[in-house]
Structure 1
Amino acid sequence: MNNVHCTFLINSQQVNLGENWIAFSTIDSQTDNSSELQTLFPLSKQVQIASDTVNRGAARLAGIEPPKFEDNETTFGQLIDRIQKTISHLNTFKPEQIDGSEEREITLQMRDNTLSFQGMPFLLYFVLPNLYFHVTTAYDILRHCDVELGKGDFLGQP
């Protein structure tokens, strides 16, 4: 669970750096208008999906109902608040809620089908790859919009 928490802190750092460089509406409109980024969700949606992925993933591993956040963020400040709410939610989990969930049956209802996992494969092959994909895509969008980010900003501090 610590890796998920650290990854989300890194995403928060990226968004904070982005706020210092460029207006949020400009980044989302550049995502919509850039030929390289037209097939991607905008920055706001990338952060929202990463938030939902980690919130729902942790809750399902703990066997509790996942929180529901509205996807209505329109500013960097609101995205940062969303990330902070996510980190706060992750901080509510106690190790004993997650420990032993390696074989817990987890079923996800998707649009067109149902996915079933045991806990460990759910974390390793669904939650973490989706989280890293959307955090990396948020990073890439910020880089594309000339926000000065480097590998150290992505990796964070040990």
Structure 2
Amino acid sequence: MQPPIKSLLCHHLSQLLLITNKIPQSLFGKQLSPDMFSMGDNAKIAANFALRGYCPLVDRKVVSFDKKGVIKEDIQDTIQRTLEYLDTLPKVTQLDTSRIITDKAGFIEVQLPQIEFIYQYILPNLLFHISLVYGTARAHGVALSKGDFDGYHSYPAGFSFV
């Protein structure tokens, strides 16, 4: 049996919400490099990837709760509303390899069987954008740990491997 997709997406979005709670409002417009999305935009993109991935699995139109802009409360509301919406959708316990899902990946269209769509396209993109939020926050001095990212690791305050 495949892992429950909805709970996997919700776990990562819940961690993103926890991370954004620790980030000061003044940093949400910051970028890791000048040619990249801002931290706030990456958070919203991550939330949208969860919906872009799950809605097609349950034959629902893909929705977005993006309020536009990089205000902390709006970004957190986007994530929270995404979590609440996912909670209303039916659980998917099995992915159908015969069902093809189409989405836009940059300037190309991807057509992938459900299992590849979720595990090779949606999850990597969701985690990529969450990683950019985490990395940008850390680069600007926000005290975050690996536990904030994955919800499992725990280190004492001030601990460092380096």
Q: Would you say same fold, with TM above 0.5?
A: yes
Offset at residue 93 of structure 1 (A) = 1.7
**Aligned pair count?**
147
2:160 is matched with which residue?
A: none
Distance 2:28 2:44 in 1: 15
Distance 1:102 1:78 in 2: 35
Larger helix fraction of residues = 1
1:17 aligns with 2:8: no
Amino acid at match of 2:110: L
Offset at residue 27 of structure 1 (A) = 4.2
Sort the Cα spacing of 1:106 and 1:27 in 2 relative to 1 into closer, same or farther, 3 A: closer
Cα RMSD over matched residues?
Answer: 1.9
Offset at residue 102 of structure 1 (A) = 2.5
Distance 1:149 1:90 in 2: 26
Distance 1:14 1:102 in 2: 33
Gaps of 5+ in 1: none
CA contact (8 A) 2:42 2:129 kept: yes
Offset at residue 143 of structure 1 (A) = 0.6
1:105 is matched with which residue?
A: 100
**Percent identity, aligned pairs only?**
23
Sort the Cα spacing of 1:142 and 1:127 in 2 relative to 1 into closer, same or farther, 3 A: same
1:74 is matched with which residue?
A: 70
CA contact (8 A) 1:27 1:145 kept: no
Secondary structure of residue in 2 paired with 1:39? coil
Amino acid at match of 2:54: A
Matches within 5 A, 1:63-142: 63-95=59-91, 98-103=92-97, 104-110=99-105, 112-142=107-137
Larger RCO (CA within 8 A; separation ≥ 6): 1
Sort the Cα spacing of 1:143 and 1:78 in 2 relative to 1 into closer, same or farther, 3 A: same
Gaps of 5+ in 2: 154-162
